[in-house]
Chains A and B, each alone.
Chain A
Amino acid sequence: MTDTTSDLVRIRSAYLRLVARRRQAGALATLAFVAAMAAGFRLADLGNSGPFLRGLLHLGDFPAEILAEASRKAALIPGLLWHDLPALVETLNIAAAATLAGSLCGGALSLLASPGLAPWPRLVPVVRRVLDLCRALPDIVVALVLVFVMGGGPVPAAIAIALHTTGALGKLFSEVNENADRRPVEGLASVGATWAQGMLFGVLPQVMPNWLSYILLRFEINIRASAILGFVGAGGIGYELRNAISWGLGQYDAAAAVFLLLILTIVAVDQLSSALRNRLAKGV
């Protein structure tokens, strides 16, 4: 079909060159990956208290001990679940409040950080660095500082998590915003709407399904984060877990109850959020 056979030869060699380049890139990447893994493994193994492979065999020891003790005291677990329920509610409250505050702040900042939507384009890099900073500070460090300043309790934990959520969601939201269609915004500007009105009525309806899906994912992450912050005195179920799981107290049944509650909660939230997301995707 091509004019001459020389055309075909040219096409073949052009494609083979393309493939050769790709193979080269692939081979280099594979080599770099293997080298990094090998070097990292050696380095990590030197840092361990014992050889990695021998340690691997003992990986299950601690969980096995917990499970063994928990199954011996299985009859106590329903009572412990009931006892831990208020702590769980506190943990969920911390996560929910932090997610709500973080999504509101993150949403507002994301609009300021999206080129093309931002009212002050020069501030876009500044807002982005602020979001970077929010993500860079580990929430556990923020919580420790706040606990030191304000004393223990759920409020420092909620603030710490909200800060991190703001940074994470602000970045994800602004990536969604960049794909939003500008024409509705222009249409609203043409009727004399303010910038905020343009965002609320022109952009939010487009990005909301994606935003909500990120918010729900973040809520799941925040439940775990707020459980961990309990370890540093922020209350909630993490505090119960720290007390129960310390070695040699003979309270592994309580630890098992906490784990059970956490797993059930995460599963429930996951079910809830996928149901919500499905409804959104269908546009109900």
Chain B
Amino acid sequence: MQLSVEGVTRVFGRTTAVDRVTFAVDGPAMIGIIGRSGAGKSTLLRMMNRLTDATSGRLLFDGQDVLTLTGPARRAWQARCAMIFQQFNLVPRMDVVSNVLHGTLNRRATLPALLNWYPRSDIHRAIDILDRLGIALQATSRVESLSGGQQQRVAIARALMQDPRVILADEPIASLDPMNAQVVMDTLRRIQQEDGRLVIANLHTLDTARRYCDRVIGMRDGRVVFDGTPDLLTTDAARAIYGAGADFSEAATSTAIEALDAPSLAPAPTRA
């Protein structure tokens, strides 16, 4: 598995949201993208999934430029490159298993799916995935009756149902409390390691990136300003990424439970 991002750029009007981003990934890994709000992290992930079109650049996956795909080829790429959203983006009024089965829509005809005509093997697989993520007991509930952490795990189950090579996670824990955030991040890390998938996650806290990722990419104003292993991510490097002054304190942006022991919990000095 080889992913190579070459000078990918997105311009909205007069602002350049993503500016010639270039990096390459060789084989399965957990990659965290950090940066303050508006740094272009979401736009970059959305371009990878082809929810947003790129203005220029190439994105090669195993030698194929996915940015030029159209129609069925584009949708087939989307099926191989699952996306997890901050607000879960599930269908709230449908039951959990149906939401997970939506992960197969790219392979299924519309009419049978409309009539609930999924193959029994798919239904069994969906419930097995839910069981693996620890939410099988909720299988028949409506998604809207679940907690945020459970909903995000349903979203991960939908992604796994696609059996994707790549999983993109756009701020997967930003609307969750610390306990649920940890469960979701542990889950993402687990499916990355056990299944050998490539996971790229936008994160907005440094400690999450340090704790879970093999590699961290820092973005500022649409450009890559840091790319390396988490141990290279010093406080100076973090200041450069967030454009913060000497008053920058990492503990203030932390949502980890251990951070409660840290001295300062002042409201976000990242000036997001």
Contact = CB atoms under 8 A, between A and B. Distances in A.
Q: Do A and B come from one complex?
A: yes
Interface of A: 1-2, 7-8, 11-12, 14-16, 18-19, 22-23, 26-27, 30
Contact of A8 (B115, B116, B120, B127): B127
B185 interface: no
B134 A11 contact: no
A14 B120 contact: no
A14 B140 contact: yes
21 contacts: A1-B131, A1-B132, A2-B131, A2-B136, A2-B137, A7-B137, A8-B136, A11-B127, A11-B136, A11-B137, A11-B140, A12-B123, A12-B124, A15-B140, A18-B95, A19-B118, A19-B123, A23-B116, A26-B115, A27-B115, A30-B115
A244 B138 CA distance: 67
Given A1-B134, A2-B137, A7-B136, A12 B127 contact: yes
Interface in B102-149: 115-118, 120, 123-124, 127-128, 131-134, 136-137, 139-140
Contacts of B136: 1-2, 7-8, 11
Contacts, number: 45
A206 B36 CA distance: 36
A1 B137 CA distance: 10
A8 B134 CA distance: 11
A27 B131 CA distance: 30
B48 to A, nearest CB: 30
A15 B117 contact: no
A contact face: mostly helix, strand, loop, or mixed: helix
Nearest to B138: A11
B116 A15 contact: no
B97 interface: yes
Contact of B140 (A7, A8, A18): A18
A256 B134 CA distance: 67
Given A14-B140, A15-B97, A26-B115, 6 more contacts: A1-B132, A2-B137, A8-B127, A11-B136, A11-B140, A19-B123
Given A12-B124, A15-B139, A22 B133 contact: no
A1 B183 CA distance: 14
Contacts of A27: 115
A23 B114 CA distance: 10
Contacts of B124: 12
A29 to B, nearest CB: 9
A133 to B, nearest CB: 35
